[in-house]
Structure 1
Amino acid sequence: MAWLHRIRRSPRLVLVVVCVALLLDNMQLTVVVPIIPAFLPLLECSGPELQTLLPSVLPSLGAPGLDTASPTSDPQTFSLQEVWTEPTPEPTDQTSTDQVNETTDAAASSCLQMQHVRLDLLFASKALVQLLVNPFIGPLTNRIGYHIPMFAGFIIMFVSTIMFAFSGTYALLFFARSLQGIGSSFSSVAGLGMLASVYTDDEERGIAMGIALGGLAMGVLIGAPFGSVMYEFVGKSAPFLILAFLAVFDGVLQLCILQPSKISPGSVEGTPLLTLLKDPYILISAGSLCLSTLGLAFLEPTLRMWMIETMNSPEWQIGMAFLPAGVSYLIGTNLFGVLANKMGRWLCSMLGMFIVGISLLCVPFATSIYGLIGPNGGLGFAIGMVDSSMMAIMGYLVDIRHASVYGSVYAIADVALCMGFAIGPSTGGALVQAVGFPTLMVFIGVINILYAPLCFLLRHPAVRKRETDPKSAAGGVVPFPV
């Protein structure tokens, strides 16, 4: 048993646990992207309206989750026969036919517009709830440690995944998505704080953060294609049941590896959240995380309709459009987890924000899915540069300017990311209708380019001397490179 005890004390196993948790959390986040837009109209649009909408919301008549042979009232195996057999008015002349068609088209358009609004709210609910919960999770981990919140995140994620598998109403889907926001808050804040506490060396911590964010990237990478393929060939419940099984594996892994006594913050009192929010360096870092994420957050709800309208893209292409971003994000986080420490994390972040802006400016010029490979790939790579650098910087800023307890600072980091993913889905559809998709991409791109120079201020953050520091008698602050 001595070898087991020795292995359980390894920081690398803590890194494995955090990677798996972030992987599953972000798989659940993105697996719904290709499923819910096709599934939701089946729940709430009537037969004639659905017939009109089928070409735009479903990839084919043999659409995922539909049974064309035997009618059933279960929305998860919704029958096309039910759609076709629902009574419709029988026109007696051409005028009547035109009136029926106009009425049906108007009803279909109204139903589709309603689905867009409800879909935006559904996608945004996770980030909005996570945004509200995060400020409480950070101080909680400072008091009770990281193990219990981490395990609580697993339980909540498992419950929300099961709900997604069997929910047949919009209200239940909305509740499941919101519940996932609570679980994500527990997992991400506790996980990143745990890594910062076990990797005390700044360079090692940067590498560990890059690897952990690689797990996040892998979840984003495989979530949408996995959901799209499983939904088309197996049905709605299957991908969520598989994720629930993997979540159980993560819970068992946590029980076997994590030890609260080894990863709790200890007796050091953490810096209050409001004090951290007043730190200009932390605010600049959080702003970089939020704005670099904002572009991808706006693409999630708007790119699908833009591809359908301008490229006439089939459903499988929509799911695959985000693949370059996921692959490049995975490369960027792992590559710059190491390189950022050598070339300067502030410089990596600044360059990353410039590349984010340029990539977003290029998105509207794409005329096919192949034209999106470069812009989406550059976007994912650049966000990986910013995330891997800023996550390490925020832990380092706490070390040199505050008490080395990390729950609250990573709650701020998670709030910054959630703000992006809350603003994007909740306002993306309305903004596209108001100004157009190309104008929206240009606006977000320019904001990133204009913000990027602020990262230069992180080059030499001032070290705030504490009373426990023997050198504090000299007073003042000492510049320290990041």
Structure 2
Amino acid sequence: MYIKQPLIIREGGRMAATQEPPTLGALFTNCLQRCRESRKLVLFIVAIALLLDNMLLTTVVPIIPEFLYDIQHPNETKIGDSLENGVPLTIAPPKAHDINGTIDLVNTTIQTDEEILRKNRHKDLIHETVAVGMMFASKAFVQLLANPIVGPLTHRIGYSIPMFTGFIIMFISTLIFAFGRSYGVLFLARALQGIGSSCSSVSGMGMLAERYPDDKERGNAMGIALGGLALGVLIGPPFGGVMYEFVGKSAPFLVLSALALGDGLLQLMLLQPGVVKQEADPPSLKSLVTDPYIIIAAGAITFANTGIAMLEPSLPIWMMDTMGAGRWKQGVTFLPASISYLIGTNLFGPLGHRMGRWLASLLGLIIIGVCLMCIPLARSLNHLIVPNAGLGFAIGMVDSSMMPELGYLVDIRHSAVYGSVYAIGDVAFCLGFAIGPAMSGTLVNTIGFEWMLFSIAILDFMYAPLLCLLRNPPTKEEKKSLILGEKSSVRYVTYQNEDDDE
């Protein structure tokens, strides 16, 4: 039988095939295809999206309070300069050209005016806590409303389109922050960010849960993704404070918009946004919301993040009032919490699976409560380092344990479709960041900064024991058996009653 052989020609005594080498375009296409199939690159994209979202979330923390104060008090010296350098808070009075007694009288008047202005500034800062808190909370409230829509939407069209939509909205929000010069415009930018965050976080976590079906691998992957979130929280406040101090208000947001543009191009190349329908029947949102084990896991996320959410608008203003802290100190005060959160999320992604995620979260809530009670005792920036570091580490314990736990609960008690359950998880996260800033201003005005933190600490202590219920949650089969057993018991009682009647 004749077999066709490839044509061979001689070149300098060596045999060579006539097949041409692949072109650069073909090599690029093959490389791009392999990248699209890589789970690690999907994890990288999700982590970058969470990083940028949370950088924008926290960059405004040291900027907004002082920026709003400067808008409302344009004739005063900058707060940080006046407090740290001893400069009076008003425009200096005209120089005296009279005798020494007149000059002494002027100096006495300056001192008196400064004391009065400090008291007035204290009142203004307390009232400003309410406005700043409402602005910070607007993002979480909008995200709270968007999550129940985004979650079921991912079941119909897949995760890539909502993910890319989140990038577009975040890019627009960042530009509004850069050029906004009034409270209303900045409020709009913060609220708009909530829609983008909902799309990014729900789609990102659902995408990871789908790509990492093994429970242990999923925990590790989500720990890394939350590490991106932590890195954003870590970089945001000092980045915003330093850029605002030395470059201006618009600079940090323009840098973030450029980074977001790069992330969007990466999504276009690797994720190829398009409609992808889920094969399995998704669980209804109602069945997930009424599942007590999912609610307990989501509640842990809420209580863990409420404390830090209350601190975001109130701690910088409290530091300005009690410590005379300037911009850079307000920016770096959250640095220990961010670093330890980064460590906690990466450590308890795999460790939580080994020791029991319920136990890691229980211990995390207790540590959070202790740290919150220690913060009002601080009298300088150095005193805040240890409680803030403990707070961040403990929140990392809870978040990196409960996020994969939500996926695990859906696997064993429902069906392996994750958009809605991570919408619930994101709702839980947003509840903490909506309730915290919204209530912090009112609580500081009514019961004071110290008792506000003591109250949330007590709530954390009370909620922690509920996590023991997640130690061994019943599976779908056990749940069905329990329901069937209850129905048969009802039938037995009914038949027994009928026999008694006869």
* 1-structure distance, mates of 2:82, 2:425: 37
Q: For 2:196, what is the secondary structure of its paired residue?
A: helix
Which residue is equivalent to 1:447?
Answer: 459
Q: 1:255 to 1:457 in 2, by over 3 A?
A: same
- Which residue does the alignment assign to 2:492? none
Contact 2:81–2:326 (CA under 8 A) maintained in structure 1: no
Paired letter, 1:154: F
Against the structure 1 CA distance between its residues 345 and 122, is the aligned structure 2 distance closer, same or farther, given a 3 Å change threshold?
Answer: same
Q: For structure 2, list consecutive stretches of 5 or more residues without a partner in the other structure.
A: 1-28, 95-101, 487-502
Q: Distance in 2 between matches of 1:452 and 1:437?
A: 23
Deviation, 1:2, is 2.8
1:364 to 368, 376, 401: 376
- TM-aligned CA deviation for residue 42 of structure 1: 2.6
Specify the alignment match of 2:157 in structure 1. 144
State the 1:60 CA deviation.
6.9
Q: How many residue pairs were aligned?
A: 445
Aligned to 2:472: 460
The one-letter amino acid paired with 1:38 is E
CA gap of 1:340–1:476, structure 2 versus 1, over 3 A, is farther
Identify the range of structure 1 (103-112 vs 422-431) with the bigger mean alpha-carbon deviation: 103-112
Aligned counterparts, 1:222-301, within 5 A: 222-259=235-272, 264=276, 266-301=278-313
Q: Distance in 1 between matches of 2:376 and 2:287?
A: 41
Match of 2:11 in 1: none
Measured after TM superposition, the shift of residue 315 of structure 1 is: 2.6
Seen in structure 2, the aligned counterparts of structure 1 residues 434 and 144 have a Cα distance that, compared at 3 Å, is same
Q: Identify which of 372, 385, 398 aligns with 1:386.
A: 398
* 1:321 and 2:349 correspond: no
TM-score (norm 1): 0.85
1:341 aligns with 2:353: yes
Q: CA deviation at 1:36?
A: 1.0
Query: Is the partner of 1:41 in helix, strand or coil?
Result: helix
2: distance between equivalents of 1:212 and 1:15? 7
Displacement of 1:108 after TM fit? 5.8
Matched residue, 1:198: 211
Q: Could you list the per-position Cα deviations for residues 62-104 of structure 1 after superposition, in whole angstroms to 9, with x for gaps in the alignment?
A: x9xxxxxxxxxxxxxxxx9xx95999xxxx999xx79999997
Q: Is the 8 A contact 2:303 2:460 kept in 1?
A: yes
Whichever residue aligns with residue 421 of structure 1, its letter is F
Matched letter for residue 21 of structure 1: A
Give the aligned residue type for 1:243.
Answer: L
Query: Aligned to 1:125, which of 135, 138, 151?
Result: 138
Partner of 2:22: none
How far apart are residue 308 of structure 1 and its match? 2.7
Q: Residue 417 of structure 1 is aligned with which of 410, 429, 433?
A: 429
Q: What does residue 6 of structure 1 align with?
A: 34
CA contact (8 A) 1:38 1:57 kept: no
Report the equivalent of 1:69: none
SS at match of 1:381: helix
Specify the alignment match of 1:480 in structure 2: none
> Which residue is 1:186 aligned to?
199
Distance of aligned partners of 1:264 and 1:194 in 2 relative to their CA distance in 1, 3 Å threshold: farther
Which one-letter code corresponds to 2:333 in the other structure?
Answer: A
Aligned residue identity for 1:160: S
Distance 2:123 2:451 in 1: 25
CA contact (8 A) 1:465 1:475 kept: no
Stretch moving more, 112-121 or 180-189: 112-121
Cα shift readout 1:440-477 (whole Å, capped 9, x = no counterpart): 2121112111211111100111101399xxx9899679
Which residue type is aligned with residue 377 of structure 2? F
Closer, same or farther: CA 215–165 of 1 in aligned 2, 3 Å: same
The answer on whether the counterparts of 2:84 and 2:324 sit within 8 Å (CA) in structure 1 is no
Q: Does 1:42 align with 2:80?
A: no
Tell me, what secondary structure is at the counterpart of 1:465? helix
Aligned pairs for 1:12-161 within 5 A: 12-47=40-75, 50-51=76-77, 54-55=78-79, 112=125, 114-161=127-174
Match of 1:230, SS state, is helix
Radius of gyration: which is bigger?
2
Q: State the 1:178 CA deviation.
A: 0.5
Query: 3-state SS of the aligned residue for 1:387?
Result: helix
**Corresponding residue number in structure 1 for 2:446:** 434
**Partners of 1:434 and 1:56 in 2: how far apart?**
26
CA deviation after TM superposition for structure 1 residue 268, in Å: 1.7
Q: How far apart are the structure 2 equivalents of 1:229 and 1:17?
A: 27
Number of the residue aligned with 2:493:
none
In 1, Cα distance between equivalents of 2:400 and 2:30: 35
Report the Cα distance in structure 1 between the residues aligned to 2:285 and 2:483, rounded to whole angstroms: 28
Relative to structure 1, the CA distance from residue 377 to residue 46 in structure 2 (aligned partners, 3 Å threshold; closer, same or farther) is closer
Q: Structure 2: which amino acid aligns with 1:351?
A: L
Query: Partner of 1:221 in structure 2?
Result: 234
Pair 1:301–1:57, CA change in 2 (3 A): farther
The structural deviation recorded for 1:304 is 1.6
Q: Work out whether residues 146 and 190 of structure 1, in 8 Å CA contact, stay in contact via their aligned partners in 2.
A: yes
CA shift for structure 1 position 106: 8.4
Does the 8 A contact of 1:37 with 1:57 survive in 2? Answer: no
What is the letter of the counterpart of residue 300 of structure 1? Answer: E
Distance 1:100 1:332 in 2: 48
1:298 is displaced (CA, Å) by 1.1
Counterparts of 2:233 and 2:182 in 1: how far apart (Å)? 25
1-structure distance, mates of 2:81, 2:445: 19
Equivalent residue runs for 1:306-317 within 5 Å: 306-317=318-329
Q: Which moved more, 1:155-164 or 1:314-323?
A: 314-323
> Take 1:86 and 1:405, find their aligned partners in 2: how far apart are those partners?
69
